[in-house]
Structure 1
Amino acid sequence: MRVLVTEDDDDLRFAVAAALRNEGLAVDEVADLPAADEALFVTEYDCAVFDRMLPSGDAVEYVRELRRAGRTVPVLFLTARDTVADRVEGFAVGGDDYLVKPFAVPELAARVHSLCRRAATVRPPVQRFADLEIDTARRQVHRDGVLLMLTRKEFAVLELLAARADQAIPRADLIEKCWDEMTEPNSNVVEVLVSQLRRKLGDPPLIHTVRGVGYRLAPPGADDSGRG
């Protein structure tokens, strides 16, 4: 899942981005509304986090225009303005959540995860595929009843593959959803992580390579032209 963080305070932006990346999210960072607008134009995000008061303007007004344009990306406001009227205004323009500074970073991460799940296609909290069980709420994976110890990034990739099970997911889609703009698109990060994930999932294999495209989650032994 990919998140946009818009915050003009460099230290706070770096801290928030680092905490969200540590939770397995892909994070892009910008410092003002024009940069946020450009990022939202070129990239599909699962959630956007806005500091409310920015040198370039009030993010509430920007989100109001975003909603008028039909954009539905979930939005969380960060702000030092803590009156009921301020919070109501944030929700009234189409904000989805509101967190007052100072805040606990783990709480922010939990709220962002909740908004990302809300943005995704509605699916059961526990996904089952063959003998694989993926608990998105607890962020746990079992295979044949055995708990697997996955990294947050491995879980993010597996969750995306499961959400589109039996479909070929292009490598570019995996990078866009599970990594951020700092990732070199020609690097082998996807191949390395998928290899690690396959080892942890064990045999028979569930993640299949779709040659020239990417990967898909399919039943054991699934194979056809160009797939393996």
Structure 2
Amino acid sequence: MTSMAASATSVALLPSKLVFRGRFEQSRSKFLTPTSTSSFPCHSISISSPFHRRKPFGIQASVSISDPQVRTGPDDLVASILSKVTGSDRGVLLSEEQHKEVAEVAEELQKYCVNEPVKCPLIFGAWDVVYCSVPTSPGGGYRSAVGRIFFKTKEMIQAVEAPDTIKNKVSFSALGFLDGQVSLTGKLTALDDKWIRVVFESPELKVGGLEFQYGGESEVQLQITYIDDKVRLGKGSRGSLFVFQRRV
């Protein structure tokens, strides 16, 4: 998966007091029913967890939309949600109604989520943060109305590395000519089949030729609500919705 001090935001990028903080949300978020024909592979993996339950693998889902004669599947829903968030500056440019539309598609996609998404190997890899329902959560003060005047976000990337490492990075241009980035490295722990917790080390800030660490550890919690080979959806502990798109 908000001034310049480390607090927490979801499995996401920098501390909410600078960027993502470790939760996908400024305070606590710091990352099934009828049968689906979804075909993406998802064999179990092991992430450190206090829970030891195992369930048989299965993908279950149902889609209910306004026209009962029309049915759609996860591929169509993924294409729909990406079309709604692309070019939105990670949600900043969307209206309230458009945010609602994104949430509706995400809710339908959730019905197609695998039973134990935290054990799905598709979680690994590099992901772009392409949307957040609270636009200032991924980026903190840099993403506020005033912050965006001085800082242009270039990339928001989350890399999930086996077995349990998360590396988050936000790169930006300050005043149009000074490049910088903030990065976090954290350890991931599964809380149950869908929720994960990440404890991040102190963030690193690089601006021009300067490089230093500041603040302390931060913690995030995120529910994985859908994952496939293209996108991952996450919901913070206070309900912020995140859309990640796999980097190619």
TM-score category (smaller protein): under 0.3
Q: Which structure: larger Rg? A: 1
Specify which structure has the higher proportion of strand: 2
- TM-score for the superposition, normalised by structure 2: 0.25
- Higher RCO (C-alpha 8 Å, min separation 6): 2
- TM-score for the superposition, normalised by structure 1: 0.26
Specify which structure has the higher proportion of helix: 1
